[in-house]
Structures are given as C-alpha cells and as structure tokens.
C-alpha cells in the first residue's frame, strides 16, 4: 500500500449541514403530512435509496442537481441530507459525492422513551403489570434528579414489562407529581404511560440514556425470574420538556438476551459518552 503523506490530515471533513425532525421521516407515528419541505424530501430520498433509484454506483447525485430535480434550494437539500447523514444512511465528504451506506435503523425519539411503542415497532405484543404506584415525598436524590426541592411529592411506579408472555424488563419510574397526576388517572395495567402523557399534552423534547450492567437484587430476581446477583442490562432514562424541566426518571433492568442498544456516531457529531461506572 502506498505511504500516506502526513498525519493530521484527517478532520477536514468538518461537516455541517442542518438537521431536522426525524419525526416525519423515520418510523415514528407522526405522519408525513404536516412535515416541512426538507422532511418530506428526506423521506423521499430515503425511499429512493431503498428502491435503488439513484443508480448502482452507490453514490448520490450532487446537491446542486438534487436541488434542481426537486425544485428546491440547495439549503433545503442539505437539510434533508443532514437527516439521512445523522442516521448513518449516507456519508459526506468535501470534494466527492456522497456515498450511500445502507438503510438506517435509528429509532424515533418516542420509540426510545416508550416500551410500548418500541415493542410494537418490532412486531411484538407488549404488556405491563403494575406492581405498585404511589405518591410520596421525594428523597434528596430524587429531588435532585427531577430538580425538585426535597420534600416535594413524586409519583413512584414499579412495573414489570413483557414481550408476548415473557417478562423482559423491570421498570422503576419516578415522575414529578405534576406529571404523575396524569398517570394516576389511568387504568392500573394500562399499557403506555408515555403515550398517555403524550396525549395529555406533555411535551418530551430531550432524553438521556445511560447503559451499564447491574446485579439483580431480590426484587429483580423474584419478578424477572432470574438468580439474585445475576447481571442485568440497566438503562437509566431521563426525559425533559423543551424548557429543560425533568419529566421522568426511570431505571429499567432488562434480562440478558432481550435487548441491545446501538448508537451511530460520526466524526462531525457524536452523542455518545463512555464513562467510568458510577460508584
């Protein structure tokens, strides 16, 4: 192989582009109607890619020619492409046409927050058994997690989650009362709490997911049917509204072999962090 000239030549790819609400483009429940131009465009191009309509050299047409074809400005094309890029569908590099990578698999924001949505997107039948749900004063830790003053009330929910008839995950969720009030109006084993919140006008805007491994405690073992001390995959979810106010904090423990998490990163934008485990 030929010798490369120098190091430090990398990072020149310094991207940019725009983004976009994957909302209308991905497999979320929101439909394509109501989406703005670049979102429809992205959906369109995604289909075109999957149908192989861009020829078989594995390259996309230039932004200029796409703009012409679709009758929009280059900026709008770039917005759409940024969407596909973020999901790992296409590359981007200065100097050459974009390369088609394949079909992206990133899930929509709501599928990540809602076990029910997620299960359905997989073609599985989700269900839930509420172990308990109660209102009580927040501990100091909970107060901090939800940005409440300690002593404020929270709603605490413990639910066992199933795919088909098989228990898969144990969910320990804490809501600020404000949010929890909505939950309390629901039937005991109602499926999608997140969906209900959604429907009642609660707006989820950002979330953070931390993944690690934890030993099953006595409760986990009993409800999930595993040995005490066995390793479980833990996902801690935190969600906030558009103003940054916490809406929920949840610690979910999955049986091994039931889920995996995949993150896509590019040199230009990365949303993943690897840390030392807590404690």
Partner DNA sequence: TAGTGGTCTAGACCACCGG
Partner DNA sequence: CGGTGGTCTAGACCACTAG
Judged by beta carbon distances under 5 to 8 A according to partner kind, the member of a copy of itself, DNA, none in contact with residue 76 is DNA
Angle at 104 between CA 34 and CA 59, to 5 degrees: 100
- Site residues for DNA, window 41-60 (CB under 7 A)? 60
Among 26, 43, 45, 76, binds DNA (CB under 7 A): 76
Among 79, 108, 155, 194, binds DNA (CB under 7 A): 79
208 binding a copy of itself? (CB under 8 A) = yes
From the CB of 224, what's the least distance to a copy of itself, in Å?
Answer: 13
Among 93, 105, 136, 222, binds DNA (CB under 7 A): 93
Provide the CA 163 distance to its chain's centre, in angstroms.
19
Q: How many CB atoms lie within 10 A of CB 157?
A: 21
- What is the rounded distance in angstroms from the CA atom of residue 143 to the CA atom of residue 154? 9
Judged by beta carbon distances under 5 to 8 A according to partner kind, the member of a copy of itself, DNA, none in contact with residue 72 is DNA
- Site residues for DNA, window 150-189 (CB under 7 A)? none
DSSP secondary structure of 71-85: TS-HHHHHHHHHHHH
User: What residues does 172 pair with on adjacent strands?
Assistant: 158, 251
Using DSSP, state whether 172 is helix, strand or coil. Answer: strand
- What is the rounded distance in angstroms from the CA atom of residue 252 to the CA atom of residue 169? 7
206 binding a copy of itself? (CB under 8 A) = yes
Element (H, E) at 153: strand 153-163
Judged by beta carbon distances under 5 to 8 A according to partner kind, the member of a copy of itself, DNA, none in contact with residue 263 is a copy of itself
- Site residues for a copy of itself, window 58-87 (CB under 8 A)? 58, 79, 82-83, 86-87
31 binding a copy of itself? (CB under 8 A) = no
- What is the rounded distance in angstroms from the CA atom of residue 152 to the CA atom of residue 224? 31
Judged by beta carbon distances under 5 to 8 A according to partner kind, the member of DNA, a copy of itself, none in contact with residue 60 is DNA
270 binding DNA? (CB under 7 A) = no
């Amino acid at each position: 192989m030929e010798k490369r000239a120098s190091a430090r030549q990398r990072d020149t790819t310094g991207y940019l582009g725009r983004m976009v609400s994957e909302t209308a483009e991905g497999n979320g429940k929101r439909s394509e109607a109501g989406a703005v131009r670049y979102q429809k465009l992205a959906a369109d191009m995604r289909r075109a890619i999957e149908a192989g309509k861009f020829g078989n050299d594995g390259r996309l047409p230039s932004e200029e020619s796409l703009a012409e074809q679709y009758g929009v400005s280059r900026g709008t094309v770039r917005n759409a492409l940024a969407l596909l890029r973020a999901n790992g569908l296409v590359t981007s590099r200065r100097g050459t046409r974009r390369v088609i990578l394949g079909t992206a698999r990133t899930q929509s924001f709501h599928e990540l927050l809602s076990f029910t949505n997620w299960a359905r997107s997989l073609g599985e039948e989700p269900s839930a058994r509420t172990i308990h749900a109660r209102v009580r004063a927040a501990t100091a830790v909970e107060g901090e997690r939800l940005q409440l003053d300690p002593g404020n009330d929270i709603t605490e929910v413990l639910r066992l989650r199933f795919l088909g008839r098989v228990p898969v995950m144990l969910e320990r969720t804490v809501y600020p009362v404000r949010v929890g009030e909505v939950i309390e109006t629901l039937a005991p084993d109602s499926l999608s709490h997140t969906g209900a919140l959604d429907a009642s006008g609660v707006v989820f805007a950002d979330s953070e997911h931390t993944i690690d491994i934890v030993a099953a405690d006595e409760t986990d073992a009993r409800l999930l049917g595993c040995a005490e001390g066995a390793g479980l995959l833990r996902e801690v979810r935190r969600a906030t509204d558009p103003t940054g106010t916490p809406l929920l904090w949840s610690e979910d423990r999955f049986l091994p072999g039931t889920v995996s998490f995949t993150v896509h990163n590019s040199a230009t934008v990365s949303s993943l962090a690897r840390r030392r485990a807590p404690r």
